[in-house]
Amino acid sequence: MVTRASDAGTNQSVERAVSVLRALDAGRAELRVSDVAELTGLGSSTTSRLLSTLERLDMVERDPVSNLYRLSLGILPLAATAANRHPVHRAARMVLQDLATRTGLGANVAVRRGTELMFLCNFEGTRAPKSYTQAGHTAPLHATSIGKCLLAGLSPKERRKLLPEPLAAHTDFTTTSHDLLDAEIDTVRRTGYAIEAEERALGRASLAAPVRDASGDVVAAISLWGPASLLGHHADGEGQRPELVREVIEAADAISQALGAL
């Protein structure tokens, strides 16, 4: 969701410039000035000036033929540095790469950012469906196994304050009630892992486990994702799920230990 520029804050120009960058991230691959203005709530002349300034700074670029704007590769070093310096990313990267190679499935790590989760990195195994998940992408907390693990670090009262009911339905299988979500999170705390079967996208499912820091707090979570027939609640004979549950819990434990957890 694009955050519209507001009049609040200590530096309105910075807020407006950031809103333009977020509009280019959230919209189509390339946008007209009028598209960016509509997404941000800014005037066309203000939007045009901001885009020209960001172009000079190599944060955005304009297609010479269509004159449409897109994010520039000049922004990539900043994003890469932010990800690479994050302690969870550093601890998880090699563990997840090995996990994806060993299982053939997709492997993700994410942290909670407000009311959503944000992926820090993603690896695809040979059996994983094609994914459009990238570092920096967000997803709903209540409709993903990785999000349910992140919510396990909050109390029921905190979860209700964070996510107003009814919870958004993404498919017919999405948990939309806090009472049901409470029961699922109690299971996560008891078993050490979460299952999500087609709650966010039909045909796909995932297993996840929480990652803790030295204080024992849930600071991240990792997941394995792939076909629902292999990972979901209604998998035939549960397939390889018990073995995959062990894999994801052990990987989460290894990352937690790297972060100082006992």
Give, as one character, the DSSP assignment of residue 31: B
Query: Rounded distance, CA 196 to CA 129, Å?
Result: 16
Query: Does the structure show a pLDDT above 80 at 5?
Result: no
- Which tokens in the block code for residue 97? 């790469």
Identify the CA nearest to 83 among candidates 129, 31, 137. Answer: 137
Residue the block writes with tokens 């894999």: 247
Query: Does the structure show a pLDDT above 90 at 240?
Result: no
**Amino acid found at 130:** K
pLDDT digits (tens, 9 = 90+) for 138-175: 899 999 999 999 999 999 999 999 999 899 999 999 99
Domains of the chain: 12-75 (1.10.10.10), 86-258 (3.30.450.40)
Identify the sign of the CA torsion 109, 112, 117, 121: negative
> Exposure of 160 by Cβ count < 10 A (0-12 exposed, 13-18 middle, 19+ buried)?
middle
Query: Does the structure show a pLDDT above 80 at 253?
Result: yes
pLDDT digits (tens, 9 = 90+) for 13-54: 899 999 999 899 876 779 999 999 999 999 999 999 999 999
The region of weakest confidence among 128-132, 165-169, 175-179 is 128-132
The radius of gyration of the chain's CA atoms, rounded to the nearest angstrom, is 20
pTM of the prediction? 0.81
β partners of residue 204: 227
Query: Does the structure show a pLDDT above 90 at 135?
Result: no
Residue the block writes with tokens 């209700």: 160
β partners of residue 226: 205
